Amino acid sequence: MKKKIFLAFCFLILNIISNKISSQDITLPTPDRTGGKPLMQALNERQSVRTFTKDNLTLQQMSDLLWAAWGINRPDQKKRTAPSARNVQEIDVYVALPTGLYLYDGSSHILKQIHNRDIRNLCGTQDFVATAPLDLVYVADMGKLGKKEGDEIKDSDLLWSYANTGFIAQNVYLYCASANLGCVIRGMVPKEKLAPEMGLRKNQVITLSQTIGIPAK
Ligand SMILES: Cc1cc2nc3c(=O)[nH]c(=O)nc-3n(C[C@H](O)[C@H](O)[C@H](O)COP(=O)(O)O)c2cc1C
C-alpha cells in the first residue's frame, strides 16, 4: 500500500515537472464554448463599468473570459479568438489577482504564476482598479517582432500591437456583456511603475489594461 502511494506521489511530481506546472499555477476548467447571449444582444448591452462588488469571479468565469479574450479556437493551426497582424500573436495577457500575477498560457489554458504579490493597485490610476477582483494587463512582446532588449521601440512600432490589443479587449467586452459581468478598458496605466513589478524585459511593452468584475447594482 505504502509503495503504491509512493509511486503515485512520484508520478504526480514527474507529471508536474514534465508539464512545467507549478503548484501555484491555476489550471482553468474547460471553457464553455456554447451558449451565452446572442451576439446582437451582447453588442446592445456592451458598456464600460467602473463600479464592482468585491466578489471574485468563479474559475469557470475566468476560464470562459480568458478563452473568449485570447484563447485558441483552432488548435490544429494554433490560431485564436482574436486576430493579430501577420498572425505574430505578440500580445501576452497577464492577469493580476489578489493571489498574485499570472500569465495566460492559451495553449494549455493555464494561468502560470509569475509571483504571489497583489499588484492590482499598480494596474491603473483609478481607485476601483485596486479593489476589483481582476485586472488584465496587455503586453506586446516586441521580441516576437525582432526587437532585442535595448533596441529603441518607437510609437510607430507599436501601432499594430495596439490594434491587436483592441480586438482582444473587445472580445472581453462582449463576453462580459454576455455573462452579466462588467469591465472597462483603460489607457491610464502607470506603466513605469507597473512594468518592473511584473518583471517585464525592456522589449516587452504594456499597451492597455482592463478591469473585470461583477457590476455593483
Ligand atoms: C483606448 C481606450 C482607453 C481608455 N482608457 C480609459 C481609462 O484609462 N479609464 C477609464 O475609466 N476608461 C477608459 N476608457 C473607456 C472609455 O472611457 C469608454 O469606452 C467611453 O467612455 C465610452 O463608454 P462605453 O465604453 O460605455 O461605451 C478607454 C477606452 C479606450 C478605447
The domains located in the chain, with CATH, are 24-213 (3.40.109.10)
HEC assignment per residue over 149-177: CCCCCCHHHHHHHHHHHHHHHHHHHHHHH
The pTM (predicted TM-score) of the whole model is 0.91
State the burial class of residue 173 (Cβ atoms within 10 Å of its Cβ: 0-12, 13-18, 19+): buried
- The CA distance from 89 to 111, in Å, is 18
Residue to mutate, 125, 185, 189, 207, ligand 1, most ligand atoms under 8 Å from C-beta = 185
Nearest Cα neighbor of 106 from 60, 163, 66 is 66
Query: What pLDDT tens digit does each residue of the chain (217 aa) get?
Result: 555 545 444 444 444 444 455 679 999 999 999 999 999 999 999 999 999 998 999 999 999 999 999 999 999 999 999 999 999 999 999 999 999 999 999 999 999 999 999 999 999 999 999 999 999 999 999 999 999 999 999 999 999 999 999 999 999 999 999 999 999 999 999 999 999 999 999 999 999 999 999 999 8
Ligand 1 proximity of 47 Cβ (cutoff 6 Å): yes
Q: How far is the CA of 174 from the centre of ligand 1 (A)?
A: 15
Q: How far is the CA of 184 from the centre of ligand 1 (A)?
A: 6
What are the φ/ψ torsions at residue 70 (nearest 5 degrees)? -155, 35
**Sequence-distant (≥ 6) Cβ neighbours of residue 146 within 8 angstroms:** none
